[in-house]
Amino acid sequence: MDEGSAQPRYFNEMFEGDGVRAPYAALDGWSREMPPELRGMKQSEAEALFRRIGITFAVYGEGGDPDRLIPFDMFPRVFAADEWLRLERGIKQRARALNAFLVDVYKRGEIVRAGRIPAKLVYCNEAFEAAVVGFRPPRGVYSHVVGIDLVRTGPDEFFVLEDNCRTPSGVSYMLENREIMMRMFPQLFRENRIAPVENYPTLLRRTLASVAPIKCDAEPTVVILTPGHFNSAYYEHSFLADMMGVELVEGTDLFVEGDFVWMRTTQGPKKVDVIYRRLDDAFIDPLCFRPDSMLGVPGLMNVYRSGGVTICSAPGAGVADDKAIYTFVPEMIRFYLGEEPILRNVPTWQCAKADDRQYVLEHLPELVVKEVHGSGGYGMLVGPKADKATIESFAHLIRERPENYIAQPTLALSTCPTFVDEGIAPRHVDLRPYCLVGETVELVPGGLTRVALKEGSLVVNSSQGGGVKDTWVMAD
């Protein structure tokens, strides 16, 4: 699986020199000895399982049926136990710092007063919610599920691409990828000590219950609030509700009366203590945010601020995962935790700064440019893969609204062996682990590995043609 002589050379996570790296030793013979016809049969079996279970994602605005089967690659991505230990420590560190930042900026704003982060980036940010200023959520946790997007560039080199502090999606794929691999290749799991991820729903429910509001005086009732079945992540919402044994509700299933939120049931109203919401801040409560929202619960924010219900993640958490704020996370770690960052940021230019903007405009063909509030691989320029017209278009956008863009170098993302039509070939990957923050900070050993199935592509998002893999962490 030589990557050839193309520049730059990418770190292949399975091969080192002429040999196989230790974490992948068990997969070398397995992949080589699998006949093409068996591989094809297994791939069809995996697709049939995904279709039967209903694992789809939605892409709107492209015509036709928006629900698509997410491409699944059977070749797992593997981390050694010591590699994962370092990642785990770095992810937990980052999640603690992000939550400390959120508590701070909605209270005294000490990090801003100290001149460590510009006030404008925080208080003029569209994700900053004035409605929660002065409020401290239970246990001081704003972001209860933190999705940290990571890339690897070498044996010991990991970078954080971005933080997701609102409602990071994809955990259902992490769980279903593992389930399908265990069904199709049980011998691999008998022969190898692979750390389990199946207890994520249990940990998630425990995390949500641990942040019950002050007015909760019994076993907390937890629900998942979904925008409905037209949402692109609806499968995940229903999957998690089923796995956790909690109710999946829409806004019309809930109402406010007195100091509490109630759920309509066939046995009459039932008090709700914790809402794991999977809709944006703007739609949570039409009396507080968008008045035209039909998805939220009128009066919900009054109950939240009075300690009658907990909303996870908290309204306003998005200010911590803004791509302009991202550049200051290492400073947050030093400021709040008194520690040096374990995981590094990608070097980033802020186009709002004149010197940075000039550099970016002069080097667009070499850089990745991202919208500050963009997601899903949209609103992004990958300079080395872009044509002249696209580069000129982005230059115009940057000059017009420089504060809306950041730029980063084009990283040499690592590759992982992937089954393709011709056999096995390296494809670029990233990783999204899910860190749960409540009474404790914990995460399961693994995450969602996304893979760019198109040869040479660095864009792994499913909406942009990417697929998913099972992620293994080898137990000690």
pLDDT band at 4 (very low <50, low <70, confident <90, very high): very low
Render pLDDT for 262-316 as a digit per residue (tens, 0 to 9): 999 999 999 999 999 999 999 999 999 999 999 999 999 999 999 999 999 999 9
User: In this structure, are strands 274-277 and 222-225 parallel, antiparallel, or unpaired?
Assistant: parallel
Quick one: pLDDT at residue 460? 83
In the three-class reduction of DSSP (H, G, I as helix; E, B as strand; rest coil), residue 441 is classed as strand
Say what the pTM is.
0.92
How confident is the model over 134-162, as a mean pLDDT?
A: 96
The stretch 359-368 carries a mean pLDDT of 94
- The residue ranges of every structural domain in the chain are 15-213+309-342+412-473, 214-308, 347-409
Residue 407 token pair: 């730029």
Q: Which long-range contacts (CB under 8 A, 24 or more apart) does 16-19 make?
A: 16/155
Give the three-class secondary structure for 184.
Answer: helix
The confidence band for 69, taking pLDDT boundaries of 50, 70 and 90, is confident
Nearest to 203 by CA among 172, 244, 249: 244
Given a cut of 50, is residue 5 above it in pLDDT?
A: no
**Mean of the pLDDT values across residues 88-94?**
98
Residue 67 to residue 55: CA distance in whole angstroms = 9
pLDDT at position 412 is: 87
pLDDT in tens, 158-192: 999 999 999 999 999 999 999 999 999 999 999 99
Segment (H or E) for 356: helix 354-362
- pLDDT score at 345: 96
Residue 374 is predicted with a pLDDT of 66
214 versus 9: the higher-pLDDT residue is 214
SS3 463: helix
The yes-or-no verdict on residue 91 having pLDDT over 70 is: yes
Angle between helices 171-184 and 234-244 (to 10 degrees): 70
Q: Using CA atoms, how far apart are residues 271 and 301, in angstroms rounded to an integer?
A: 16
Whole-angstrom Cα distance, residue 47 to residue 468? 12
**Residue 62: which pLDDT band, with cuts at 50, 70 and 90?**
very low
- Who's near 93: CB < 8 A, 6+ residues apart? 333, 337, 339, 341, 342, 343
| Cβ(122)–Cβ(375) below 8 Å | no
Please state the φ and ψ torsions of residue 37, each to the nearest 5 degrees.
-65, -35
pLDDT surpasses 60 at 59: no
State mean pLDDT over 67-95. 93
Collapsed DSSP state (helix, strand, coil) of residue 207? helix
- What is the CA 140 to chain-centroid distance, rounded? 21
Which amino acid is it at 176?
A: E
Tell me, what's the pLDDT at 463?
66
- Best CA proximity match to 211, nearest among 120, 264, 141, 281: 141
pLDDT tens for 435-451 read: 999 999 999 999 999 99
Cβ(454)–Cβ(418) below 8 Å: no
Q: What share of the chain is helix, strand, coil (3-state, %, to 5)?
A: 35, 25, 40
Contact present, 221 and 270 (Cβ < 8 Å):
yes
347-409 under CATH 3.30.1490.270, yes or no: yes
Q: Which fold has domain 214-308?
A: Rossmann fold (3.40.50)
- Residue 60 has, within 13 A of its CA and on its CB side, a CA count of 4
The residue type at 167: T
Beta pairing, strands 247-249 & 15-16: unpaired
d(CA 471, CA 175): 10
Instruction: Give the residue from 470, 465, 437, 451 showing the smallest Cα distance to 152.
Output: 451
Please say if the pLDDT value at position 426 is more than 60.
yes
Cα 334 to Cα 343: distance, rounded to the nearest angstrom: 13
Look over the chain and give the mean of its residue pLDDT values, rounded to a whole number: 91
pLDDT in tens, 370-417: 988 766 556 788 888 889 999 999 999 999 999 889 999 988 899 999
Does 64 have pLDDT greater than 60? no
The three-point CA angle 114-117-120 to 5° equals 115
Q: Write out pLDDT tens, residues 126-138.
A: 999 999 999 999 9
Which residues have C-beta within 8 Å of that of residue 273, sequence separation ≥ 6? 212, 213, 216, 220, 221, 222, 309, 310
**DSSP states of 403-438:** GGEEEEE-----EEEEEETTEEEEEEEEEE-EEEES
